[in-house]
Amino acid sequence: MFNKSRFMGRALGWVTAATLALGASTAFAFQPSGKVDCIAPSDPGGGWDFTCRSVGRLLEQLDLVPASVQTTNMAGAGGGVAYAHTVSKRRKDDQLIVAASTATTTRLAQNQFPGMSADMVRWTAALGADYGIIAVGSDSPYDSLPELMDALKKNPGSVSFAGGSATGGWDHLKVLQTARKADVDNLRRIKYLSYNNGGEAITQVIGGHIDAFTGDISESRGFIESGDLKVLAVLADQRLPEPLDDLPTAREQGIDEVAPNWRGFYLPKGVSDETYQWWVDTLDQVYASDEWKKVMQQNGLMPFHKSGQEFDAYVQQQIKELQQLSREIGLVQ
């Protein structure tokens, strides 16, 4: 015979047990338990160091972490030392984030981290980008990107480019990507000269020693504002915010190339899905904050945000494209 009181008692017990279980899962949801370590794969003062220190400071200020965020500088092998350290010694460290950028994916694409691949870490979020540009001196005969690309089509060795990365680095590859989108043949013949930094490369272009500059917008703003450097194209999907909104994109000139030097983070491969999602959500909060928008504006970073699985897919695709291009010009087998 149906006993309503007994049934209601059991039902209440089931509800209570379910509530307790839910409460327990919520209570044990991941949060850092103490100090967070952010590895900057460079010496103090570089882009990766900036990424760690500025994001770390905001994680503290916005009360998104319970304790401090310590930046650990780990230079070497263009980020390879930090990558190997994370993969081999910190594989399950959920208190660790590591700064990365397009330079990281470029080196992975070219097998410069021996024995390591992109799937040995968890790509977490990108929180801004420094977009590439192609520019010439103010008295250059070239006034648009198509004019420059037409010269390369006629003779790929007729225009020399200067940049702040090594041969095969990001400054070099962004020119080759752009040329390929413009249907330039024989990319290996395009002349690229490497300098210690973007400032040195720009000086060579302004002085008339090199035809064109390939670099990022942040390192060239002063020269653009002074009128010494003429930007033929910004390699962004749309025009940059003021006061740079008068600079044309490659895309609007019929050459569909976008080349962001994104700034972001990866986590150790062995952290749990719960930990990964917490970091994704937390870095999303940083990006959405007014404080981060101010940091971006002060440091020349432009809007660019991908996180979680979308960011992972973006990184994998970027590596695939860079690997194909590097193979085409003989940098990798």
pLDDT digits 0-9 by tens, 235-287:
999 999 888 999 999 999 999 999 999 999 999 999 999 999 999 999 999 99
Give all strands (DSSP E) within the chain, no chain letters. 36-40, 69-73, 96-101, 121-137, 160-163, 191-194, 212-216, 229-234, 260-268, 302-307
Reduced to 3 states (helix: H, G, I; strand: E, B; else coil), residue 178 is helix
Least confident of 11-20, 258-267, 283-292, 319-328: 11-20
Name the residue type at position 226: S
22 confidence band (pLDDT: 50, 70, 90) = very low
Give the pLDDT of residue 214. 97
Asked whether residue 209 falls in the same domain as residue 265, the answer is no
47 confidence band (pLDDT: 50, 70, 90) = confident
Give the pLDDT of residue 28. 44
**Does residue 292 or residue 243 have the better pLDDT?**
292
Asked whether residue 120 falls in the same domain as residue 265, the answer is yes
Asked whether residue 135 falls in the same domain as residue 248, the answer is yes
Last-in-domain residue among 253, 269, 298: 253
Domain assignment present for residue 17? The answer is no
pLDDT at 295 over 80: yes
Asked whether residue 208 falls in the same domain as residue 66, the answer is no
pLDDT at 27 over 90: no
Q: Residue 36's Cα: distance from chain center in Å?
A: 21
> β-strands 160-163, 212-216: how paired?
parallel
CB-based contact 285:63 (threshold 8 Å): no
pLDDT digits 0-9 by tens, 88-97:
999 999 999 9
Last-in-domain residue among 253, 274, 296: 253
pLDDT digits 0-9 by tens, 152-176:
999 999 999 999 988 999 999 999 9
How many other C-beta atoms are found inside a 10 Å radius of the C-beta of residue 81? 16
Give the pLDDT of residue 105. 96
Last-in-domain residue among 253, 283, 301: 253
- Give ∠ CA 104-105-110 in degrees, rounded to 5: 100
Give the pLDDT of residue 211. 98
Where residue 91 sits, what CATH number does that domain have?
3.40.190.150
Asked whether residue 125 falls in the same domain as residue 174, the answer is no
Give the pLDDT of residue 11. 43
pLDDT at 24 over 80: no
Asked whether residue 120 falls in the same domain as residue 267, the answer is yes
pLDDT digits 0-9 by tens, 69-110:
999 999 999 999 999 999 999 999 999 999 999 999 999 999
Asked whether residue 240 falls in the same domain as residue 192, the answer is yes
Question: How much of the chain, in percent, has pLDDT values that exceed 70?
Answer: 92
Give the pLDDT of residue 23. 38
Instruction: Tell me the whole-structure pTM to 2 decimals.
Output: 0.84
- Mean pLDDT over residues 308-322, rounded? 97
How many other C-beta atoms are found inside a 10 Å radius of the C-beta of residue 196? 8
Range of the domain at 204: 131-253
**Does residue 48 or residue 28 have the better pLDDT?**
48
How many other C-beta atoms are found inside a 10 Å radius of the C-beta of residue 298? 9
pLDDT digits 0-9 by tens, 183-226:
999 999 999 999 988 889 999 999 999 999 999 998 898 999 99
Asked whether residue 267 falls in the same domain as residue 184, the answer is no
* Cα separation of the two ends of the chain: 79
Going by C-alpha positions, the residue among 232, 98, 103 that lies closest to residue 172 is 103
Give the pLDDT of residue 143. 97
Give the pLDDT of residue 232. 98
Asked whether residue 122 falls in the same domain as residue 188, the answer is no
Domain assignment present for residue 11? The answer is no
- Mean pLDDT over residues 15-29, rounded? 42
Give the pLDDT of residue 196. 86
32 confidence band (pLDDT: 50, 70, 90) = confident
Q: How many domains does the chain have?
A: 2
pLDDT digits 0-9 by tens, 108-161:
999 999 999 999 999 999 999 999 999 999 999 999 999 999 999 999 999 999
